[in-house]
Structure formats: structure tokens, C-alpha cells
Structure 1
Amino acid sequence: MGNASSMLTQYDIEEVQEHCNYLFSLQEIVSLYQRFCQLDRNAKGFISADEFLSIPEFALNPFSQRLLKMVDGLNFKDFVAFLSTFSSKATLEQKIELIFKVYDIDGKGKVTFKDLLEVLRDLTGSFMSEEQREKVLSQVLEEAGYSRNCSLLLEDFVKILGKPGLKMEVEVPVD
């Protein structure tokens, strides 16, 4: 399974299914493997940052640089595990955990006002001034019961985002 040019066996598929908590069907895993092989242009068995950036939707995402830190060098099993967060079968907590990792810039397990401000800067670009961003962010935090001096933990993200309606799904086309 390490070499992208090899074929997936039934055992490989079942192993990947177990690794991603059975969030993808057999057919979806085969489709994902085909896509993985297309992206792994040099058949190294993993996808590099440059190969991920060849996906237009990924390259245009305002979080692409943050996501690259999470996905650079993923082998097929880990590629599927990463994508499983976007499955309609993934739990809300799994989705929130990924969002938290995107916001947790330094990977220390907490999100600061500065981290949130940086994310908002990525999203708004030149459409908002730094002063406007700080004001909006302070107000949002205050409404959620936090101050700009707080560090948010994963549990805080679950509390804030854990309401029904959070949509973060990708449909895997099956041939």
C-alpha cells in the first residue's frame, strides 16, 4: 500500500477502514485511493505540500497554509483518516477537533486571542482593518463568555461550536 502504483488488497481496504473508524465505505476508499495515486505524482507513497497545492480548492482555501502543516507527507492511511473528519458520518466532536487544530497555530493545545486574530486576518485580508478585527473578535468572545485574555481549550471550542448545524462535509465520488 506504500507504493501508489500498487493495488489495494481487501486487507488494505479493511485496515484503512478500521484506521478511519469505518467512516468511509469500501467503494469510497477505492475512490480515495485512486485520487491519492493521482496526487502522488512520483509514486512515493505520500503526498507532499506541493502536490496538495495542485488541488485548486485546497490552494484557494484561506486556511491552506495552516492545513499544509497537518497534511504534508501523509501516506494513504493518514490521508483517509484526515479526510474522514469531512465525512457525513463523522461526529460533531471530530469536526470541532479539526477546527481547533487549524486555530491552534503553535500546536500547544490552546487558542489565544492572537491565534484567533491571525485566523480572522487570513479570512478577511484587506477587507477589515486590524482595529475592526480586534473589535469584532473581542465582541464575539465576550458574547460567548470569554475575554481577550483567555486561552481557549478544545473543550471551549466544543462548548462554543457544539451546536447542531455545523456543516463540514465532503462527498466522495464513487465510480
Structure 2
Amino acid sequence: MGTASSMLTQYDLEEVQLHCHNLFSQQEIVSLYQRFCQLDRNAKGFISADEFLSVPEFAMNPLSQRLLKMVDGLNFKDFVAFLSAFSAKANMEQKIALIFKVYDSDGNGKISFNDILEVLQDLSGVFMSNEQREKVLIQVLKEAGYTRESYLMLDDFIKSRRE
């Protein structure tokens, strides 16, 4: 895949479309490729964390550091797959899986008390003390039937959506 939208072949378009579970049309993929090429300033074929931070909406997001771990070094196909969770056509389970990955910063497939606490810290900043965050989180987990020692799995996230 080249450095301009005209470099995408029909095969490339179909391959990317399959990779993102047909959540984007071919025209949307062409538009995403143009944006990818703009972000990939050095035409390396992937986007670095610094290049992602050049997008103001991304840089201003309180979870940007967590998201950077997920997007740093993405090639075009993986860039589109990452963005597919934000598509209006994505189902709820695909969206929940992305949120799960944001919380699961070490990628071990489970979310600990400390993982959630770190996200709360990112979101609340100086507006809450660590003690306040811990008390709130302990109470929320207790009400949901979990303890400080519990781990949340992707199925727990999906199950909570259904209840």
C-alpha cells in the first residue's frame, strides 16, 4: 500500500474491508487511507505515537496515554481495524472489547482493581484524591458482586451490558 489513495488496489481495499469485518465501505477506506498517509509523515508505513499525538482530539483525550499503547506502530490495516470499533456499524460487543483493552493496559486479558484505579485517575485527575477514588471503586465493585481482589474478564464486561 503506497503513499497516496490512488495506490490502493481493489485487492487492498477488499483485504482491508475483510480485516475490519466490513464495517467500512471501500470509499470510507480510501478516505481513511488518505488520513493515514497524512499522519504517517515519514511514509514509514505505520503511525508512531508522536504522529497520533498530532491529532488534537486524540492528544486532549484523558485516556490518550492508554490509547497510545494500543495504536503506536499500527500499519494501515490495523489502523482501520482499530477505528472499526468507533464505526456506527460496529456492534456493542466490538465496542465493549475496545473499552476492555483500554482498561487492560498490560494486555493480560483481565482487569485488576489497580487497572480500574489507574483509569479513574486518568479521568478524574486532581479532582479526586487517591483515597476517594479507592473508596468509590471499592463500593462500585461491591455493589456489582466483586472485591478488590477480583479480576474482570471480557465476558464480565459483555455480561454487564446485557443485565
Q: Do they superpose with TM above 0.5?
A: yes
Greater RCO, CA 8 A, separation 6+ = 1
TM-score of the aligned structures, taking structure 2 as reference length: 0.95
The equivalent residue for 2:7 is: 7
1:139 aligns to 2:139 (yes or no):
yes
SS of residue paired to 2:88: coil
The one-letter amino acid of 1:10's match is Q
Partner of 1:130: 130
Post-superposition shift, 1:146? 1.2
Q: CA RMSD in A?
A: 1.3
TM-score of the superposed pair, with normalisation by structure 1? 0.88
| Structure 1 contact 109–154 (Cα < 8 Å) conserved | yes
Total equivalences in the alignment = 162
Alignment of 1:116 with 2:116, yes or no, is yes
Distance in 2, matches of 1:127 and 1:87, equals: 32
Identity of aligned residues (%): 76
Distance 1:35 1:89 in 2: 20
Q: Tell me the secondary structure at the aligned position of residue 89 of structure 2.
A: coil
- Correspondence for 1:172: none
Q: Structure 2: any 5+ residue segments left out of the alignment?
A: none
Q: Deviation of residue 143 (structure 1)? A: 1.8
Residue 55 (1) aligns with residue 37 (2): no
Unaligned runs of 5+ in 1: 165-175
CA distance in 1, matches of 2:3, 2:110: 36
Deviation at 1:163, TM superposition (A): 4.4
- C-alpha distance in 2, partners of 1:4/1:79? 15
Q: Comparing both structures, which one devotes a greater share of its residues to helix?
A: 2
Q: Which residue of 2 aligns with 1:151?
A: 151
